[in-house]
Structure 1
Amino acid sequence: MNPIWIKNIEINRNKWDACINECSWGNIYSLSFYLDYITHNRWDALIIGDYDYIMPVPIKSKFGIEFTYRPDFCQQLGVFTKFNIIEKEILQLFLKKLTERFITFIYPLNHENTVFNIKKIKFNKKTNFVLNLNTTYTEIYSKYSNELKRNLKKTEKSNIRLNENTSIDELINIYKDAWQNLHFINDKTYIAFKKVTEHLIDNKKAKIFSVIKNDKILSACVIFFFKDRIYYPFSAITPDGKKNNSTEFMINEIIKKYCPSPLQLDFEGSDITNVKLFYKKFSPINKSYFQITKNVYFLEKFIIFRIFLKNVLHFKK
């Protein structure tokens, strides 16, 4: 029972999405429409049986070397199954296929893909904070850090409010203004994410929130809904927003809006120290997952060598 490699054009998207929906840990990043937009249709699949076990494989190439990778806005991929249990032996078959196909890769598994030793693969544990909303707001608030409680008290006097009429373009522009020099996201990726968001909004599976003061946006975010999760994939804040603790206010208002319910708020990370400390103020649980890598330095060295060679040949001309 070995995984079979299926090219993108041959993937039965109805059967694919049915498996993601049936799998108890199926996530929004692995739905076919999401992958189509985010990878620009550059993803293949490994499949066992009649879509009984599936694994999305985004593909890129540089200087003729093909590899799989973690696309922007796709935190977790990995192996999914309609049987709701994944044996280590089956997971191993999928990962061995990756090592056979690619010289190098960086690929995110999901929180149900158990780690074990496989030759040539390095496993890196990644942080993912999730907050259960299945209780009252009072109980959730009681577990907030003292710093967060103090900051929320300040927002009560700052005349800020939550707004639900912000566009995805406004959110992206705020992010660009704040982070463009530090976080490289190209225009092609922004366009793809905008299409994903608009698709989900049209299907009532996404909302955009912002925090307003004196008719000015201080911060904004988009949330996605899939199964029992609220995903928090993208947010942005202005300098004035930081002064007014607007992101803390925004997340707190979202929590108020959706609790109590059987949903979980998925913060999507993070291992960045300041971001991790920020999310920890809400007392979420860490539902970690593994990112696997193979020969990540090989591609970097190869690219540097090609650039060096190109410059040398250019100089000789």
Structure 2
Amino acid sequence: MIRKLRYQEIDFEKYSRCLDESCQKNWYARKNVLDKLSGKWHILVYGDYEAVMPIHLTKKFGFNFVHMPLFCQQLGIFSKKDDSEINHLFLAFLKKEYWVFLYSFNQYNNFPSVLEKKKNYIIPISDYEILRRKKYFKGRKSTTKSTRHLIYKELSINKECMMFIEKNSKGIPTQADFEIFKKYLDFLITNKFVTICGAYLGDQLISLALLITENKELSLLALFNDEEYKVENGSSFIIDRILQHYIHEKKFNFMGSNIRGIEVFFKSFGAELHEYSFIENKILKKFT
């Protein structure tokens, strides 16, 4: 029932139709996005593209492993109706046919067995004033109130932005990863998939948020902060202003995290927990 298709074997018209009609829609599973983030990807298919599962391959120790592309949180299985038994068939096939380093399913994929979970936080479309009054943590209300001297701007990418990102890109581990990030950002800008938001203290840029923009969703790709201005709480200010401008028409996806401090930061804006399943080879992880 499940079959493996290499890139050159994929019927992309059927693949795209399956994604578009699926109940688990995920921006990262699109062909053009995976083409940019993954140098090599396959799909697993159920029936005549009734359900599909994209997988990214990377070479480690001389072997091809299934891994998650850099800057991609979730992939998983896509179908008109999520079916835990069919999902189990995909999972079993994946484990049998591939060496799996890490694979993250999407939050809508259910399984008959219990898998490990990671955390994501999302704010649904809301009335901003009600969200702030009823769901912001008390401390976050106070912090955002204290940042009213800052200036919010939506920006086009320019030399100032790129210099700021490069200087403050602590979450991107290597220079090679940063080069991939820059190419990905170029792709997002060219295709008008990104909104760039800045927090200024006078004329000084102190925080920068990159948002992937979809019809009904904003996803936080990255948040950069100048540590010299940490006391100004630019992160709190910029998220609050983004919500003020957009939460009435777009949900806000924080894209993680399992780090306690970051998790509390997300929750403090009234974000709701959305867990997603993943499988990981912990033995391989120790050697990387």
TM-score, with length taken from structure 2: 0.91
Change (3 A) 1:23 1:203: same
- Corresponding residue for residue 2 of structure 2: 3
Secondary structure of the equivalent of 1:125?
strand
Q: Is the 8 A contact 1:171 1:221 kept in 2?
A: no
* Structure 1 Cα separation of the partners of residues 162 and 9 of structure 2: 34
The amino acid across from 1:254 in the alignment is I
Secondary structure of the equivalent of 1:162?
strand
Residue 276 (str. 1) matches residue 263 (str. 2): yes
The amino acid across from 1:141 in the alignment is R
- Corresponding residue for residue 22 of structure 1: 21
Q: Structure 1: any 5+ residue segments left out of the alignment? A: 304-317
Residue 53 (str. 1) matches residue 51 (str. 2): yes
Q: RMSD between aligned alpha carbons?
A: 2.2
Change (3 A) 1:199 1:116: same
- Corresponding residue for residue 184 of structure 1: 173
Change (3 A) 1:161 1:102: same
Moved more, 251-260 or 167-176: 167-176
Secondary structure of the equivalent of 1:56?
strand
* Structure 1 Cα separation of the partners of residues 132 and 88 of structure 2: 42
Shift of 1:235: 1.4
Aligned to 2:72, which of 71, 74, 77?
74
Change (3 A) 1:298 1:250: closer
The amino acid across from 2:108 in the alignment is E
Secondary structure of the equivalent of 1:297?
helix
Shift of 1:63: 2.2
Residue 131 (str. 1) matches residue 130 (str. 2): no
Q: Is the 8 A contact 2:196 2:211 kept in 1?
A: yes
* Structure 2 Cα separation of the partners of residues 87 and 240 of structure 1: 50
The amino acid across from 2:199 in the alignment is V
Secondary structure of the equivalent of 2:155?
coil
Aligned to 2:202, which of 211, 214, 237?
214
Secondary structure of the equivalent of 1:86?
coil
Once the two structures are superposed, the pairs formed by residues 1-317 of structure 1 within 5 Å of their partners are: 2-40=1-39, 42-81=40-79, 83=80, 85-117=81-113, 123-133=115-125, 135-142=126-133, 143-156=135-148, 158=149, 160-167=150-157, 171=161, 173-180=163-170, 183-187=172-176, 189-261=177-249, 263-293=250-280, 295-298=281-284, 300=286
Secondary structure of the equivalent of 2:283?
helix
Moved more, 51-60 or 189-198: 189-198
Q: Is the 8 A contact 2:85 2:111 kept in 1?
A: no
Write the deviation string for residues 139-194 of structure 1: whole angstroms up to 9, x where unpaired.
011121111111111111x3x211112427755543443354x651443x434433
Change (3 A) 1:242 1:17: farther
Q: Is the 8 A contact 1:172 1:190 kept in 2?
A: no
Secondary structure of the equivalent of 1:193?
helix
The amino acid across from 1:130 in the alignment is I
The amino acid across from 2:8 in the alignment is I
* Structure 2 Cα separation of the partners of residues 113 and 172 of structure 1: 37
* Structure 2 Cα separation of the partners of residues 275 and 24 of structure 1: 29
Change (3 A) 1:197 1:168: farther
* Structure 1 Cα separation of the partners of residues 174 and 21 of structure 2: 33
Change (3 A) 1:197 1:22: farther
Secondary structure of the equivalent of 1:164?
strand
Q: Is the 8 A contact 2:120 2:256 kept in 1?
A: yes
* Structure 2 Cα separation of the partners of residues 179 and 201 of structure 1: 18
Q: Is the 8 A contact 2:198 2:209 kept in 1?
A: yes
* Structure 2 Cα separation of the partners of residues 7 and 300 of structure 1: 29
Length, aligned pairs only = 287
Secondary structure of the equivalent of 2:258?
coil
* Structure 2 Cα separation of the partners of residues 79 and 169 of structure 1: 39
* Structure 2 Cα separation of the partners of residues 274 and 186 of structure 1: 26
Secondary structure of the equivalent of 2:19?
helix
Identity of aligned residues (%): 26
